[in-house]
Each structure stands twice: as structure tokens, then as C-alpha cells.
Amino acid sequence: MSDNSNRPGSTRRDALKLGAGAAAALASARAVAQEAQGQPLLGDPALPEPSGQRTRWAIVGLGTFAVGQVMPGFGPARKSRMTAFVSGNAEKARKLGARYGVDRFYGYDNYDSIADDDAIDCVYIVLPVGLHAEYTIRALEAGKHVLCEKPMASTSAECEAMIAAAKANDRRLGVAYRVHFEPNNVHVRDRIAAGDIGAMRFVSGDHGFNANPDWPPHKWRLEKALGGGGSMYDIGIYGLNTSLMMLDGDRPVSVTATYSTPEGDPRFTEVEGGIDYRIRMASGFNVAGSSSYCWSPYLSRQRYFGSEGSIEMNPATTYYDNRIRFEKAGDAPREYVAGNAIDQFAAQLDGFSQAARTGEAHRTPGEMGLRDIRLIEAMYRSADAGGAVVEL
């Protein structure tokens, strides 16, 4: 048997010199060579798992995000694969099944029979928000682990019921806060934690777009029963959750908020068109944020101000293109990209697959989703009372 250990790409140092893409290709080539020589491959963490050993996922709701981002995200995943689709549109499901090699199909009427399907380990809920709680709880009761899209549900009471169902059925429950797996945001989190901008003094996050009431995926977002809430539920939650991700160990203690819905705008009879908020943190600084369904162009911006430097991300939470601007007193500002944003989708899937199979904690558990919905409910209470301080 030949020894590959002195060949290029066979050491970690070589891998770093080559870059991740080339190193992965070399690792795969090495794997094929080893397999041909009869050496065991399993247990090598550098390799994607064989298809038959991956965690198996059902996707529930085959809409814009599921088709555009979630399904392609399985391509580079290393521990996860799709085995089933749940949809109200059987023809669409079968067409997508043909594209992705998925051959198990369910509708919403026979959804509970996934309980008898041993080829499903995890369920990914990609439905409108008003349906998250019901379909999550039904999947948990069917014995499946559930990753649920953001925001977790319409109310904190629903979030609590989802967490209780996960506990009662001994299943993992995660909220799909993909930013926790996005390499640029992870990098910024680590720099802040390492003290690179000194002590945190102020954080702000601004997120918005212009809602089109004639486009079906925006139409349900403007209806309270399906959207749960308004701009803060759908887009503002990225800023809220990302800001708190950067402040691990700190805790919100009070919140004030004011609506910024344009007067007389016919889109906003059921949910808010915009909201500005300010959260007081236990360590004595503020997290400010704004969200809107009335901004153009789309905005996704995060800013972190410290005692010795600042970081701005603009865009901050997009699918493909997040950028970092780092500034420190006395140094020239530096703009850079720390990783490929697209990696976030596969990383999130594999992270949840790992939690599901080992029972270890997922990075973005149901409790995090509940925390955020409670905060947004407190914002609404404050805004309803004209900007009153709401203690948390």
C-alpha cells in the first residue's frame, strides 16, 4: 500500500497554502485513491459523508426561498441530503424531485404520515410564518427533528408550545438563523469577542426593502394571520438577531420603539410598515435598529462601535455578498471579505444534522427564536404606548 502523506495537499499546511477549494479537490482525489487501495475512508472529517450515511431531510413548502436557496444549499453540504418534499402543488414537487433526485412526496393533508417514513430524519419548515408553529409541532410529534425558518412563529406562546413539543418528543428544534453560519459574520463575531474594537459602546442594524403587495411572497407578509407581524418580523429580525449574536454574554434589559409606517399607505392595514427601536443592554450600552417595508433599494447594514475601533458590514446579512469595513484609530480603514457567504446554507444544514444525530445543542435553538419574538412583542407594546419604556 502506498503512503500519500508526503504528497502535495496531504498536510494541513499544504491545504492552507492551496486554498480551501483546491485542498478539497485534492482531498477528494486522495479519498478515491485510498478507496481504490481498500483503505477505510470513514471517520475522515475532511471528506463529505457517503450519501447513504447522511442525515435525511424533508423540505416543507416549496416557495421562493426553499427553491432558490435551501435546495441549492444541499449541493455542497457534507452531512445532509434531501429525501422528501411536502407541498400543496404536486406537479411542482415532482419536477423539483426529478431535478434533485427526491422521490418521496407528501401534501399538507397527509403530512402526519411522515411519522411512518424512516427515510426522513429532519424536517425544514419553509412555510409562511403563520403556519410555522402548527407544522413544526406536527413534525416533532411525528418523531422528526425540526429546523424552522425565521421568525420562529407568530407569537411567543406559539414558540413556547414548539419548544415544549420538542422536549416532549425528545427531538432537536432549531430556528434557521443562517447568519450564525455565514463566514463574514462569524469572523466579525470572533473579532469583537477577541477585543479587536475594544469595549462595545453602540450597535446598530438597519434592514429593509420595498414590499410589493401584488407579488404572492410579499402579499402574505402583509397579512397578520400569515405574516405574524410586519417588517420587524420579516426583515428587521435579521438586524435584531445579528446584533445580539455579536454580544454573546450580554442581555437586553429594556426596549423602546416607535412605528414608522407611512401615513395612509394602503399596504399596511394589518401589519407595521416600519419600526425603529432601541434596546438597553445589561452592560450599559444601547442596541438600536430599524426595519422597513418601504425602503428602496434593499438595505442590510450592521454597525459595531467600540472604545478602540468600529466595524461596519454593508451588506451584512445577504445570501452571497457580505462585506466588512474595519476601522481603528490611527490605522487606515480596511475593507475585506473573510469568506464566501454562500457557504452559510450548507453549514447551517450540516450544523443541524450534527445536532440531530448527536443530541448536542444546535447553534440557533428554539429558545433563541423565542427570545427574539418576546423582544419584538415588547417593541410592539412600546410602540403601541407611544414609545414607552418596556422592562424585560
In whole angstroms, what is the distance from residue 174 CA to residue 99 CA?
A: 27
The least CB distance from residue 202 to ligand NDP, in Å, is 26
Among this protein's residues, is 238 annotated catalytic?
yes
State in Å, rounded, how far the first CA of the chain is from the last one: 65
The least CB distance from residue 348 to ligand NDP, in Å, is 9
The least CB distance from residue 256 to ligand NDP, in Å, is 26
Neighbouring-strand partners of residue 286: 202, 280
Nearer to ligand NDP, 103 or 170 (CB): 103
If one counts every other C-beta atom within 10 angstroms of the C-beta of residue 104, the result is 17
User: What sign results for the dihedral spanned by CA atoms 98, 102, 104, 106?
Assistant: negative
In whole angstroms, what is the distance from residue 272 CA to residue 370 CA?
A: 20
Nearer to ligand NDP, 136 or 204 (CB): 136
In whole angstroms, what is the distance from residue 226 CA to residue 153 CA?
A: 10
Stretch that binds ligand NDP, among 23-31, 124-132, 183-191, 293-301 (CB under 6 A): 124-132
| Using rule CB under 6 A, residue 359 touches ligand NDP | no
Which parts of 307-346 interact with ligand NDP (CB under 6 A)? none
The least CB distance from residue 222 to ligand NDP, in Å, is 12
| Using rule CB under 6 A, residue 149 touches ligand NDP | yes
The least CB distance from residue 130 to ligand NDP, in Å, is 8
Choice from 9, 63, 72, 339 touching ligand NDP (CB under 6 A): 63
| Using rule CB under 6 A, residue 176 touches ligand NDP | yes
- The 196-225 site mask, x for binding ligand NDP (CB under 6 A), equals --------------------xx--x-----
Q: Which of 331, 328, 330 is nearest to 197 (CA)?
A: 328
- For helices 366-384 and 237-245, give the axis angle rounded to 10 degrees: 120
Nearer to ligand NDP, 127 or 257 (CB): 127
Which parts of 76-115 interact with ligand NDP (CB under 6 A)? 87-89
Report which residue's Cβ sits closest to ligand NDP: 63
Nearer to ligand NDP, 202 or 320 (CB): 320
Catalytic-labelled residue, pool 106, 111, 135, 150: 150
| Using rule CB under 6 A, residue 72 touches ligand NDP | no
In whole angstroms, what is the distance from residue 285 CA to residue 278 CA?
A: 10
Which parts of 220-279 interact with ligand NDP (CB under 6 A)? 220, 226, 234
In whole angstroms, what is the distance from residue 165 CA to residue 25 CA?
A: 42
Nearer to ligand NDP, 108 or 305 (CB): 108
The least CB distance from residue 354 to ligand NDP, in Å, is 19
Output Rg (C-alpha) for the chain, integer angstroms: 22
Catalytic-labelled residue, pool 124, 238, 304, 380: 238
| Using rule CB under 6 A, residue 129 touches ligand NDP | yes
With CB under 6 A as the rule, give the number of residues binding ligand NDP: 23
The least CB distance from residue 84 to ligand NDP, in Å, is 12
Stretch that binds ligand NDP, among 123-131, 270-278, 279-287, 362-370 (CB under 6 A): 123-131
Q: Contact positions toward ligand NDP, by CB under 6 A?
A: 61-66, 87-89, 126-129, 131, 149-150, 176, 178, 216-217, 220, 226, 234
Active-site annotation, residues = 150, 238
